Amino acid sequence: MKFLSNKVILVTGGTGTFGKAVIRKILESDFKKLIVFSRDELKQFELMSEFKLLPNFDLVQFYLGDIRDSERVNQVMHGVDIVIHAAAMKQVSAAEDNPLEAIKTNIFGTENIVRSSIENQVDKVISLSTDKAANPANLYGATKLCSDKLIIAGNSFPGDTKTKFSVVRYGNVLGSRGSVIPYFKSQIQYNEIPITDIRMTRFWITSNQASSFVLNRLSDMQGGEIFIPKIPSCKVLDVAKIICPNIPIKIIGIRPGEKLHETMITIDDSYNTIEMNKYYVILSHLLKNNKYYKDKGIKVAEGFSYTSENNHIWFSNREFKETLIRENLI
C-alpha cells in the first residue's frame, strides 16, 4: 500500500465492522495521519482500547461528529488526502420505520462528504455501497443508490476540482453488527430459527476481504466507477443450518422490502460494465472511453446481470463453515 505513503486518510463510520477492519490494515502501512470520524463516543473508546498497542496507533486521531453536520465535516476534512466513506444508516427495518433519518444520513450526509472533499481539494474519495442499491426494493437500498449517484456525480461537479470519486459495492459482510449470522446465533436459545424463504440467496464477503478490496481499488481508481468484487453466494437456509445445526427451522415469509435474491449488476448496467480478473466495474459516462479499463478488461455481454442466484461462485457448506471458523464467528 505504497500509495498511502505520507497521506492523511479520513475514515467516516470508522468504528463500524468495516471501519475497524480497514483501520487495522492501514495501521500496517506507511501513512502520515489517520482520522477516525464517527458519532458514538463509546465505540470510539472501545476501538482505542482495542487498537492502542498496534503499530502506528499514535498517528490516529479520533473526532466525534455526524456526517449530517456539514460544518463539522468541513472541520475534519482540512488537510485530508484520501476519504473512505463508510458512515451510513444500514438497518433495513430501521430505515423503513424512520425514512427521513435514513435520507438525512445516507443522502444528505453523503452530499456533505462530496462538497467538503471538493472544497478541501481531497485527492480521492471511495464510498461504500451495498447490493441493495442495485434495483432497490427498500428505502435503505434507495438511499444508497442516491448516495452512489451523488458520489459518481462528484467527478463532474461544476468548477475546477482535482478530487476523484468512486464507489465499492458488495454483499453481506460476515458477522457484521445487525447481520443475519449474529441474529441466528441469538435465536438458538429459543430452539427455533426463523427463515423468510428457503430459496433465498445472498452474496457473502468477510470484513478482511472487503477492506482489502477497497484499499486495492483506491490505488487504481480513475474516478467515476462502481467496483463490484467477485464473491461467493450461499443460501440463507444453508447458513442457518451451518450456524445452528439441529435447531428447527420456521418459515415466516418474506418481509417488506426484502428480496429473494440480491443484485449487484443489473441488465441495464451491462452496457457500461467491464469484467476484470477479480472484479467487475460499472463505468460512468466519464469513463466510457477510458483506456485503462479497455486495455485491462473485457466488456460484458449485453443483457448480463450479476445476482446472488445466477452467480458462478458458490460457497459449499464446508467452505462456508471453514470461513466462519477462520473469522472466529462460530
Residue 321 has pLDDT above 90, yes or no: yes
* Residue 98: domain span: 2-171+206-230+266-307
The arithmetic mean of pLDDT across residues 280-287, rounded, is 91
In a domain, 128, yes or no: yes
Check if the beta carbon of residue 236 is closer than 8 Å to that of residue 259.
no
Helices (H), 57-204: 70-77, 92-97, 99-103, 109-119, 139-153, 180-187
Q: For the residues 97-112, what does the mean pLDDT come to?
A: 98
pLDDT at 255: 85
pLDDT-based confidence at residue 285 (cuts at 50, 70, 90): confident
Assigned domain for 241 exists: no
- For position 318, what pLDDT does the model report? 95
Q: Higher model confidence: residue 293 or residue 141?
A: 141
The three cell numbers of residue 321 are 463453515
* 222, part of any domain: yes
**Phi and psi at residue 275, to the nearest 5°:** -95, 125
Average pLDDT on 276-305 reads 90
pLDDT at 106: 98
Residue 12's closest CA among 68, 63, 86?
A: 86
Residue 112 is assigned to a structural domain of this protein: yes
The candidate with the shortest Cα–Cα distance to 250, out of 211, 197, 292, is 197
Residue 126 belongs to a domain: yes
Taking CA atoms, 162 is separated from 13, 155, 219, 268, in Å, by 24, 9, 16, 30
Scan for cell 458512515, then name that residue.
87
Q: Give CA–CA dist 130/133, Å, rounded.
A: 6
In a domain, 145, yes or no: yes
Burial (Cβ within 10 Å: 0-12, 13-18, ≥19) of residue 230: middle
User: What is the pLDDT of the chain when averaged over all its residues?
Assistant: 94
| Residue appearing with cell numbers 453481506 | 172
User: Residue 304: which pLDDT band, with cuts at 50, 70 and 90?
Assistant: very high
Segment (H or E) for 154? none
Catalytic residue flag (residue 132):
yes
Structural domain total, the chain: 1
pLDDT at residue 295 above 90?
A: no
Per-residue confidence band for 240, with pLDDT thresholds at 50, 70 and 90: very high
Dump pLDDT digits (tens) for 120-174: 999 999 999 999 999 999 999 999 999 999 999 999 987 777 999 999 999 999 9
Mean pLDDT (whole number) for 49-64 = 96
Report pLDDT for 89: 95
Annotated catalytic residue: which of 7, 90, 124, 132? Answer: 132
- With respect to residue 250, please indicate whether it lies within any of the assigned structural domains: no
Question: Would you state the pLDDT for residue 292?
Answer: 85
Query: How far is it, in rounded angstroms, from Cα 116 to Cα 128?
Result: 17
CATH number for position 68:
3.40.50.720
Please state the separation of Cα 91 from the chain's center in Å.
13
pLDDT of the residue at 267: 97
Residue closest to 9 by CA, chosen among 259, 26, 134: 26
Mean pLDDT of all residues in 32-55: 96
Position 4 scores a pLDDT of 95
| Cα distance between residue 24 and residue 14, in whole Å | 11
Q: What is the pLDDT of residues 11-34, one digit of tens each?
A: 999 999 999 999 999 999 999 999
Which regions of 65-112 does DSSP assign to beta strands (E)? 82-85
In-domain check, residue 199? no
% of the chain beyond a pLDDT of 90: 85
